[in-house]
Structure 1
Amino acid sequence: MAMNKINGGMEVIGADGVHVGTVDQVEGDRIRLRKSDSFGHHKGHQHYIELGFVAGVEGNKVRLSANADIAVTLEEEPSGRPVDLG
């Protein structure tokens, strides 16, 4: 997988094609999502997705290996801990 093809502004979608977020930038082995894509009581917080969940890059979209409803549970806070959706 050519991770160097992932750039800021690209849409991140689940395997089902549903919007998960927008790339802010790649940091190490994680994609940092834009704060504007955060949800619920996590609104305004930075979230990350491990590059290992990327299935491919298709044009201006980063497709994950999990459906969107699962992918949001895989998001991490800056500390590397999973997002608490509760």
Structure 2
Amino acid sequence: MIKRLTVLAVLLTFVAGLPAQGLKDLMNKAKKELNGGSDDETGSGLKEALNAGVKEAVDFLSTPDGYYKSAYKILLPEEVL
């Protein structure tokens, strides 16, 4: 009986470790992909993403009442007015 429980415990431990190993492999692969580019490529990609985001925001806020009816509007304090 104890031998069966020991074998079962060892098997369960082995089976429980399989998904964790797969997750670890996936994380290592993602790290390699993220760190694969050079600094110039990373900077260029970041600059391109920021330019696209700024263009999208400007296009959205420059529509009629796009700024005044948006949540992005920053109101001046009453003392300034």
- Which of the two has greater strand per residue? 1
TM-score, scaled to structure 2: 0.19
User: TM-score when scaled to structure 1?
Assistant: 0.19
Question: Larger relative contact order (C-alpha < 8 A, sep ≥ 6)?
Answer: 1
For the pair shown, the structure with the greater C-alpha radius of gyration is: 2
